[in-house]
């Protein structure tokens, strides 16, 4: 069975990623981004 999403995350009201699951694995806290800035999005 294929996953529905490649990645999913929880973002706070300031745009900071709090939790990110990418390719079935949790991303380390140091690699989380502030996605409020469009340059930090994929």
Place of tokens 């806290």: 29
Confidence check: pLDDT of 1 > 80? no
HEC per residue, the chain: CCCCCCEEEEECCCCEEEEEEECCEECCHHHCCECCCHHHCC
Residue-wise pLDDT tens digits, 9-40: 999 999 999 999 998 899 999 999 999 989 98
């Amino acid at each position: 069975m294929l996953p529905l999403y490649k990645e999913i995350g929880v973002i706070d009201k300031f745009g900071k990623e709090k939790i990110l699951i990418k390719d079935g694995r949790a991303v380390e806290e140091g690699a989380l981004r502030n996605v409020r800035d469009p340059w930090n999005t994929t």
